[in-house]
C-alpha cells in the first residue's frame, strides 16, 4: 500500500501570521495585477479573480457586474455562437471573459465558430478529470490553432500533470482543484482529491518553474480563503458558490418559510445533466449537489465584501500590491480558527 505520509492542508487548516506594516489604510492597497503570458505573448491587467464557468455563475449578467471591477468571468460552455454574437453587441470586453470548452470534436468546432465571429483572448479548456491524455492533446490542438490566445486547462491537483499541460499541451494557465467546491461531491463518490491549499502550493511551484501560471479553483468559503489561496501561490482564484444566490444569477427566487432562496448546483449534478443532456447516463453517478442558497441581493455587495477582505489581508502583512501577497505571507497551522458560538 502506497501512502504519502505528509499531511496535506486545506484553507481551514491555516491562518496567515500578521507582521509589522507601513500600510495605514485598506485604500493604500492596489488589487490590480499585470501578467504577461510568455507562451502567447499576451499581457493582462485586472483583479485576479474569476467567476466559475458554471451555468448559474458564468453568465452574461454576472459578467456585466464583474467586468466593471476588472474581474474575469469564465462563461459557461453551453452558450452558442449566436449567444456570443448577441453578447458582443451588448458589450463584451475580451479582457474580462473566457470562452469555455470541452474536449471533443464538437467542442472544438464550436470554439472555432465562436472565435471566427467575435474577439476572444482567453480559452478555458475545462474537464473534471484533467489526468486524461486527451486533455493534453486537445490543449496542443488549440495552441497550434491559436498561438496568440491565453489558454487555460484543467482540473488537476499535482505537479506532474501541471508540468505536462504547460510543457506538452502549450497551456498558459493550469486550473487546480478536484473536489473542493461547495457543490462538488467528487471526493464522496470517487475518493479522489487533494486538500486545496496543498494542491495550490504544489502546482504553483511546478507552473512557476516553467513560466506558467495557475488558477486555484474551488473551496472558497469567505474572503480570507481568497487571500490564503493567493498566499499559497495561486495567480488567480476561481469562485463559484460564493458568487451564487444574487439578483444576477439565473433562476427564480424560491420562497420557503418566509425566507428567500435561489438554486445553485454543480455541473456534474443530476440537475445539470438533465438540463443540458436530457438525462444522467447509467454508467455514471452524480458528482454534484443541488442546493438552495439564501438570497443575497445584488452581486456588487458580495464583490465589495471580498475585495475589502483581501485589502485587509494586505494591510496586516504589509503587501501594498496584491501580487506581493505570496512573498509577504507566512502561514501557521491551526486546529481551530473561528469562534462559532453564535453561528
Catalytic annotation present for 314 = no
Q: Which of 261, 316, 319 is nearest to 291 (CA)?
A: 261
Residue identified by cell 447516463 is 281
Residue identified by cell 452574461 is 60
Q: How many CB atoms lie within 10 A of CB 208?
A: 14
Say which of 124, 184, 203, 314 is annotated catalytic.
184
Is 61:244 a contact under the CB 8 Å cutoff? no
Distance of CA 336 to the CA centre of its chain: 26
d(CA 199, CA 103): 23
d(CA 60, CA 252): 17
d(CA 190, CA 182): 16
Strands 331-333 and 14-16: what pairing? antiparallel
Whole-Å CA distances, 190 to 8, 159, 241: 18, 21, 21
d(CA 311, CA 24): 11
d(CA 237, CA 214): 9
Rounded to 10°, the helix 81-89/105-117 angle is 20
User: To which H or E segment does residue 215 belong?
Assistant: strand 213-217
SS3 of residue 253 by DSSP: coil
d(CA 217, CA 128): 11
Q: Which residues are catalytic, by number?
A: 184
Amino acid at each position: 500500500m502506497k501512502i504519502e505520509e505528509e499531511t496535506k492542508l486545506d484553507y481551514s487548516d491555516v491562518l496567515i501570521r500578521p507582521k509589522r506594516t507601513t500600510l495605514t489604510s485598506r485604500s493604500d492597497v492596489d488589487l490590480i495585477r499585470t501578467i504577461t503570458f510568455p507562451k502567447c505573448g499576451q499581457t493582462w491587467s485586472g483583479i485576479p479573480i474569476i467567476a466559475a464557468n458554471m451555468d448559474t455563475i458564468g453568465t452574461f449578467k454576472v459578467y456585466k457586474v464583474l467586468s466593471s471591477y476588472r474581474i474575469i468571468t469564465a462563461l459557461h460552455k453551453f452558450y452558442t455562437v449566436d449567444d456570443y454574437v448577441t453578447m458582443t453587441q451588448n458589450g463584451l470586453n475580451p479582457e474580462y471573459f473566457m470562452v469555455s470548452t470541452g474536449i471533443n470534436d464538437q467542442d472544438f468546432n464550436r470554439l472555432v465558430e465562436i472565435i471566427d465571429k467575435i474577439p476572444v483572448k482567453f480559452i478555458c479548456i475545462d474537464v473534471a478529470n484533467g489526468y486524461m491524455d486527451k486533455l493534453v492533446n486537445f490543449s496542443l490542438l488549440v495552441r497550434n490553432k491559436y498561438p496568440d490566445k491565453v489558454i487555460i486547462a484543467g482540473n488537476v491537483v499535482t505537479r506532474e500533470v501541471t508540468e505536462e499541460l504547460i510543457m506538452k499541451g502549450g497551456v498558459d494557465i493550469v486550473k487546480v482543484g478536484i473536489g473542493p467546491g461547495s457543490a462538488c461531491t467528487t471526493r464522496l463518490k470517487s475518493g479522489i482529491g487533494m486538500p486545496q491549499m496543498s494542491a495550490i502550493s504544489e502546482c504553483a511551484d511546478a507552473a512557476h518553474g516553467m513560466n506558467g501560471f495557475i488558477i486555484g479553483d474551488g473551496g472558497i468559503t469567505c474572503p480570507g480563503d481568497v487571500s490564503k489561496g493567493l498566499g499559497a501561490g495561486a495567480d488567480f482564484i476561481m469562485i463559484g458558490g460564493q458568487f451564487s444566490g444574487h439578483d444576477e444569477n439565473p433562476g427564480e427566487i424560491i420562497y420557503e418559510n418566509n425566507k428567500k432562496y435561489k438554486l445553485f448546483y454543480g455541473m456534474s449534478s443530476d440537475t445539470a445533466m438533465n438540463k443540458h443532456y436530457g438525462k444522467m447516463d447509467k454508467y455514471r453517478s452524480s458528482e454534484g449537489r443541488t442546493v438552495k442558497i439564501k438570497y443575497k441581493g445584488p452581486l456588487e455587495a458580495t464583490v465589495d465584501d471580498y475585495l475589502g477582505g483581501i485589502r485587509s489581508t494586505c494591510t496586516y502583512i504589509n503587501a501594498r500590491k496584491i501580487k506581493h501577497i505570496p512573498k509577504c505571507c507566512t502561514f501557521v497551522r491551526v486546529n481551530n480558527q473561528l469562534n462559532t458560538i453564535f453561528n
